[in-house]
Every structure is written in C-alpha cells, then in structure tokens.
C-alpha cells in the first residue's frame, strides 16, 4: 500500500493519525516538525511518500513554508500534498485547492472524510 508522510506538531493528533492510517494499511512516517520531515526527504536513496499530510500552523517551519520548500525541489515537487488546519479562511482553502496536487481538509476532521479524501488523492 501507499506510503504517507505526516507532519503534525500536536503529539496526540499525530499519534491518532498514525494509528488510523496504519490500520488502513498505509505505511506511515510521522514527524512533529516540518524541518525534521524535510530532512528525512533529502536522502536520494529514500523512497518518496505517495502523499504528504501536513498541519499548517506549527512552530519553526510552518506548513506553508514546508510546502514551498518541497515545491522548489524538482525531486519532491510532484508529491501530492494535503494541508490540514482549523485556522484558515475559505479564500485560502480555495487557493490551496487551485495548486496542482494540493488539497485541504479542515480540522477537526471526520475520520471517514479524511480516509476518503486520501483514497481519492491516491487514485
């Protein structure tokens, strides 16, 4: 099954996501910071994830900065990216959805909604 990389600075939310997605059969790599996730993606020998799921509001490097770093790297730029946030307006949400391979889900999310969005993205 597909490999997912998750970035979420709230440990309990990250743990719940890891459990849910692993139970669905996904191979999950989880990080509490975007900087650590980005560092893990820099190794050319490392297989790339099929999807990156990231919170937006995080200390250090936020989700938008993480996204920009990925999109500026030709090796990483086409990985589908799913933003998660409770703190975003409808206009910003629409801007994300207009970008290629970029998606958004509002937190708190319904687990079935999240899973169906992930399935749709990976098709």
Residue 55 has pLDDT above 70, yes or no: yes
Q: Which residues contact 61 (CB under 8 A, 6 or more apart)?
A: 33, 34, 35, 38, 69
Tokens of 31: 């990080």
Average pLDDT, the chain: 92
pLDDT band for position 118 (50/70/90)? very high
Residue 24 has pLDDT above 90, yes or no: yes
The C-alpha angle with vertex 31 and arms to 95 and 23, in degrees rounded to 5, equals 90
Q: Which of 34, 98, 43, 37 is nearest to 62 (CA)?
A: 34
For the segment 46-58, the average pLDDT, to the nearest whole number, is 94
Residue 95 has pLDDT above 80, yes or no: no
Query: To which H or E segment does residue 67 belong?
Result: helix 63-71
Q: Is the distance from CB of 104 to CB of 82 less than 8 angstroms?
A: yes
Structural domains for the chain:
3-122 (3.40.50.2300)
For the segment 60-74, the average pLDDT, to the nearest whole number, is 95
Residue 89 has pLDDT above 70, yes or no: no
């Amino acid at each position: 099954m597909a490999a997912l990389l998750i970035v979420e600075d709230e440990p309990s939310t990250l743990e719940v996501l890891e459990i849910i997605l692993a139970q669905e059969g996904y191979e999950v790599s989880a990080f509490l910071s975007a900087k650590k996730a980005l560092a893990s993606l820099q190794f050319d020998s490392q297989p790339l994830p099929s999807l990156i799921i990231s919170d937006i509001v995080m200390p250090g490097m936020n989700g938008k900065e993480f996204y920009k770093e990925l999109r500026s790297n030709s090796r990483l730029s086409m990985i589908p990216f799913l933003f998660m946030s409770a703190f975003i307006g409808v206009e910003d949400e629409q801007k994300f959805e207009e970008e290629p391979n970029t998606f958004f889900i509002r937190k708190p999310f319904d687990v079935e909604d999240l899973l169906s969005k992930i399935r749709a993205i990976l098709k």
